Amino acid sequence: MALGRRGRERTIDYWPGFVDALSTLLLVFIFLLSVFMITQFFLTQEMSGKDNVLQRLQAQIRQLTELLSLERASSQTAEGELSALRASLAAVEAERDRLRGEAGTAPAAPDPARAQALTRELDMQKDAAARAIAQIEILNQQILALRRQMAALEEALNISEKRDQESQAKIADLGRRLNVALAQRVQELSRFRSEFFGRLRDILGNRPDIRIVGDRFVFQSEVFFDRGSATPRAEALPALDQIASAILELEKQIPPDISWAIRVDGHTDSRPISTPQFPSNWELSAARAIAVVQYLISKGVQPQHLIAAGFGEYQPLDGGTSEDALLRNRRIELKLTER
C-alpha cells in the first residue's frame, strides 16, 4: 500500500504540455502554408507590372526574410519543446524502471493497473515525440522552400533590372539615331530649299510685285488673279509655268525618302466679300490656293508634293488700313516645307 501511494504521488501529468506543443506546431504550419500561398498569388500578380515591380519584389524579399526569421525561431521553439518531451519521456522511463525494480524486491505483488497506465503513458509520449519530429521536418522543408522562393525572386529581380537597363540603353540609342537622322533630313531639306529659292529668284528676276519674306515667296494676288476672282489671269500663266518647272526640277533632286511639299497659301485683305461664289474671304483665299495647285498639277507636278491652304484675312503682313497695306495683304505665298 505504501508503494502504491508513493507511485500515485510521483505521477506527472504531461498531457496538457504535449497538447499545447502540438497545437502550436499545427498553427505554425497552417500559418506558414497560408503565407506561402498568399505570397505565391501576389508574386504572380506583381510580376506582370513594369515600373513598380522592382520595388514590390524588394519589399516581398524583405517580408520573406522576416518570415524566414520567424520560421527559424518557430523551429528552434519546436526543437526546444521536442527536447522537453524527450526529457519527460526519459523521466517517465526512469520512473517506470524504478517502479519495476521496487516491485521486484518488495514482498507484495505489483499493481498491474499501475504498470499498464505507465506503459500507456510511455507509448503516448513516444508517439508525441515522433509527431513532433515529423512537424519539425515539415517546418524544415518549408524553410527550404522559402529560401528557394527568395532565390527565385532575387534572380527575377536581377533579370528585370538587367532588361530594364538594356531597354533604357536601346531607347537612348534609338533616340540619338533618330535625332541624327532628323538633323540630316533638316539639313538636306534646308539645302534644297536654298536651291529652290535661288532658282525661283533667277527665274522670276527682281519683280517688285514678288517678295521674299523669311522662307516664303510672296506674290501679290493681282499678279495671278483679278479683284474678287479665283481664276488665274492669262498674263500670270508664264510665271506659273516657270514655278512649275522649278518644282519639277526639285522633284528630280530631292531623294524619295525625304518627305516634302510646296505649300500654296491664299490670303486676302480685311475687306469682307460676299458673293454667291465666295460667301467670305475664307472661300476666296482657299479657292485661289487651290487654283494655283491645280494649274501646277496640270503642268506635271506630283499632287503629293503640293498643299493648298486658305487663311482669309487672318494672317496679315501689314496691320494698317491704307490701300498699300491692303494690297500687301492680298497675296499668294509659296513655301517649301516638310509634309
pLDDT tens profile 140-160:
787 778 778 878 887 888 887
* More confidently predicted of 44 and 248: 248
How many whole angstroms separate alpha carbon 9 and alpha carbon 253? 117
Report the relative pairing of strands 216-220 and 306-310 from DSSP bridges: unpaired
* More confidently predicted of 248 and 178: 248
Q: What's the first-to-final CA gap in the chain, in angstroms? A: 117
The reported pLDDT for the residue numbered 1 is: 43
Measured CA distances, 61 to 15, 29, 66 (Å): 40, 20, 9
- Given a cut of 50, whether residue 189 has pLDDT beyond it is yes
- For the chain, the average pLDDT equals 78
Burial pattern 148-181, b for ≥16 Cβ within 10 A else e, equals: ebbeebeeebeebeeeeeeeeeeeeeeeeeeeee
Reported as type and span, the H/E element at residue 227 is: none
The torsion angles phi and psi of 219, rounded to 5 degrees, stand at -110, 130
The whole-number average pLDDT for the span 216-242 is 91
The whole-number average pLDDT for the span 191-210 is 69
The reported pLDDT for the residue numbered 3 is: 44
How many whole angstroms separate alpha carbon 114 and alpha carbon 117? 5
The reported pLDDT for the residue numbered 28 is: 62
Neighbours of 230 (CB within 10 A): 21
The whole-number average pLDDT for the span 254-280 is 91
The whole-number average pLDDT for the span 305-322 is 94
Among 18-32, 94-108, 299-313, the range with the most confident prediction by mean pLDDT is 299-313
Indicate the SS3 state at residue 333. strand
Nearest to residue 213, comparing CAs of 33, 314, 333? 333
Q: Is 337 exposed, middle or buried (0-12, 13-18, 19+ CB in 10 A)?
A: middle
Which domains, and CATH codes, for the chain? 2-175 (no CATH), 206-338 (3.30.1330.60)
The torsion angles phi and psi of 222, rounded to 5 degrees, stand at -65, -15
Indicate the SS3 state at residue 201. helix
The alpha-carbon radius of gyration of the chain (Å, integer) is 49
Q: How large a percentage of the chain has pLDDT more than 70?
A: 68
